[in-house]
Amino acid sequence: MSDQPHVYPVPDDFAAKAWADKATYQAMYQRSLDDPEGFWAEQAECLDWFKAPSKIKHTVFDTHDVDIRWFEDGRLNVSSNCLDRHLETRGDQTAIIWEGDDPKDSKTLTYRQLHERTCQLANALKDMGVKRGDTVTLYMPMIPEAAMAMLACARIGAVHSVVFGGFSPDALAQRVKDAGSRVVITADESVRGGKQVPLKDNVDAALTREGSDVCEKVLVVQRTGGEIDWHEGRDLWFHEQVDPQSTDCPAEEMGAEDPLFILYTSGSTGAPKGLKHTTGGYLLHAALTHRYVFDYHDGDIYWCTADVGWVTGHSYIVYGPLANGATTLMFEGVPSYPTNGRMGEIVDKHQVNILYTAPTAVRALMAHGDDVMDSSSRDSLRLLGSVGEPINPEAWEWFHRVIGKERCPIVDTWWQTETGGIMIAPLPGATDLKPGSATLPFFGVQPALVDNEGNILEGATEGNLVMLDAWPGQARSIWNNHERFLQTYFSTYKGMYFTGDGCRRDEDGYYWITGRVDDVLNVSGHRMGTAEIESSLVAHESVAEAAVVGFPHDIKGQGIYIYVTLADDVEPSDELKKELTKWVRKDIGPIASPDVIQWAPGLPKTRSGKIMRRILRKIAANECDGLGDTSTLADPSVVDDLIEHRANR
């Protein structure tokens, strides 16, 4: 990376019309630090409260006592904020544009229609015995019913847990069990890139696993009409349960700190953790960031290409946009189907103004050359956004030049499942852009860089990214395991939230995320723990030991590199590599497919038996000259063998 990146100043016309120009951003940011109570009390007025909060912020970041409460005596309902309050002024405005996998399939739902269907579904859930505080697992395609299901849960005070539709039955079972969901909502099949994915079959398989018998009812949307097994007494058709219901369902009055959803994500160790997000602070953070970072104005057509199974889909397909009365586009398919020009064609078809996507999608298009976008004009676009992983400056420039035709600012948004909403990002009317930098903190966000001992570093420097104080959208806990929440995020550096990311800050105070500093991988923007993949591998009878690391990958950002030590008497073979690949895909899901498998007769370990991943990462990256000190290894000769047989040259 050059020390002097190209700077893209804020376009004048953008600044003139934006919610915030430079001076406004600076004033609002400063106020959010100097007077958080006053600032957030005022901002909270943009939501509809049954009872407005009088207590604004009660947050304690202490290793032994993390307690995060925002607006704690306020009462509201997320679904009525996203639907009911818009009916009078924009009942007939499109809330959701749905674009199917097949370019011939699309439809729209107005706010009134979305409200009616959500109420009907909420009534159906009540009939199925779902009560306030119950958890409901959603394992769904990218169809409007997914948004309705989230909103219907919120409406009756149930807590949803969306599980990405690409996860395996085992992964789903683990999450149903941990959340204790008595109801699962799914579809017969999902359709992506012209292929059917057997969601209902996966649910059937998941529910045979130990502990997932907590689930009593499965509500099934008929998406394709494909053949499925039917469990009488357990399975219910969505249309049969929902269509006859009343379109009136009063929204439950929820406390601001009542849970809204659980979302599972990977850490460096152990099983995925269910982050708990609550009602008032989360919704405010999602809505406010959506308005300011995407500079959303009435009439804009906004498209976030994420899946609702990830936090980006929660905050920026459903909750943020709908709270702002926006028109949000939901796409069922993949950007490469039926052709690589699809993304641009969807932009033209629906006249999209704001496009929020992931660096991996940009790099995949870029690999096809500039003419990949020739089938569309994209003249409607005025703003682009990036999320999920660091965007390399080359991909940023291509995104800007080819997709945005040099007219659209790019907001590179850094945040996490844990943060609930965007934390570091430009405001397009206020912040000059530097390709590859997420730039500056959002209102109320107090980032700092610390060294490995937790000392705060000043000025232009590099270190571990932490947050010094709470923000409204922050996860409050890990479902069923508050102790793990404290351990994971608050024990590394005293009194600070640790993000797990490394970061550089330049002379202008701009933040440049350098990637995870823990054992978490980011593959095509999907977050995965190396430990999860390792424990899947060692469950295979041929595997004695496995170590998983990431390596730089041109399109995916990071690829998955696996070192496998085979059990005694097992011979390495290409067939076995294929079998292990299949094994991991089946166990976790296709997103965890290994890119490279190397047979490792031995792994580099310290004398105390700890695997030295630093060395494995270097070999995987084909950087064998700078291995550093290997003298502490129990058997330094294993390294020579690994270098000799490395698979990524």
Q: Which residues contribute to the site for ligand PRX (CB under 6 A)? A: 265, 311-312, 386-390, 412-417, 438, 499-501, 513, 515-516, 522, 527
Q: Is 71 helix (H, G, I), strand (E, B) or coil?
A: coil
Of 246, 349, 248, residue with least CA distance to 301: 349
Check the annotation: does 347 bind a ligand: no
Strands (E), 378-437: 383-387, 410-413
CB of 306 to ligand PRX, least distance (A): 8
d(CA 451, CA 322): 40
Check the annotation: does 400 bind a ligand: no
β-strand 477-478 against 195-197: which pairing, if any? unpaired
Shorter beta-carbon distance to ligand PRX: residue 413 or 464: 413
d(CA 386, CA 147): 22
Q: Is 298 helix (H, G, I), strand (E, B) or coil?
A: coil
Shorter beta-carbon distance to ligand PRX: residue 345 or 412: 412
Asked whether the beta carbons of 501 and 492 are under 8 A apart, the reply is no
Shorter beta-carbon distance to ligand PRX: residue 121 or 438: 438
User: How far apart, in Å, are the Cα atoms of 425 and each of 56, 410, 433?
Assistant: 25, 10, 10
Check the annotation: does 501 bind a ligand: yes
β-strand 235-237 against 217-221: which pairing, if any? parallel
Residue whose C-beta lies closest to ligand PRX: 417
d(CA 386, CA 391): 8
CA 501 to chain centre: 15
CB of 384 to ligand PRX, least distance (A): 13
Check the annotation: does 223 bind a ligand: no
Check the annotation: does 414 bind a ligand: yes
Shorter beta-carbon distance to ligand PRX: residue 350 or 527: 527
CB of 133 to ligand PRX, least distance (A): 25
CB of 415 to ligand PRX, least distance (A): 5
Check the annotation: does 192 bind a ligand: yes
- Phi/psi of residue 386, nearest 5 degrees: -135, 145
Shorter beta-carbon distance to ligand PRX: residue 118 or 392: 392
Check the annotation: does 280 bind a ligand: no
CB of 587 to ligand PRX, least distance (A): 20
Shorter beta-carbon distance to ligand PRX: residue 340 or 417: 417
Number of neighbours of residue 278 by Cβ within 10 angstroms = 28
Of 596, 641, 631, 633, residue with least CA distance to 612: 633
d(CA 46, CA 315): 17
Check the annotation: does 382 bind a ligand: no
DSSP state of 479: T
Shorter beta-carbon distance to ligand PRX: residue 36 or 550: 550
Asked whether the beta carbons of 433 and 7 are under 8 A apart, the reply is yes
CB of 465 to ligand PRX, least distance (A): 8
CB of 83 to ligand PRX, least distance (A): 25
Check the annotation: does 543 bind a ligand: yes
Number of neighbours of residue 436 by Cβ within 10 angstroms = 19
CB of 275 to ligand PRX, least distance (A): 9
Check the annotation: does 389 bind a ligand: yes
Shorter beta-carbon distance to ligand PRX: residue 527 or 605: 527
Binding residues for CoA: 192-195, 312, 524, 585
Binding residues: 192-195, 312, 388-390, 412-417, 501, 516, 524, 527, 538, 540, 543, 585
Binding residues for ATP: 388-390, 412-417, 501, 516, 527
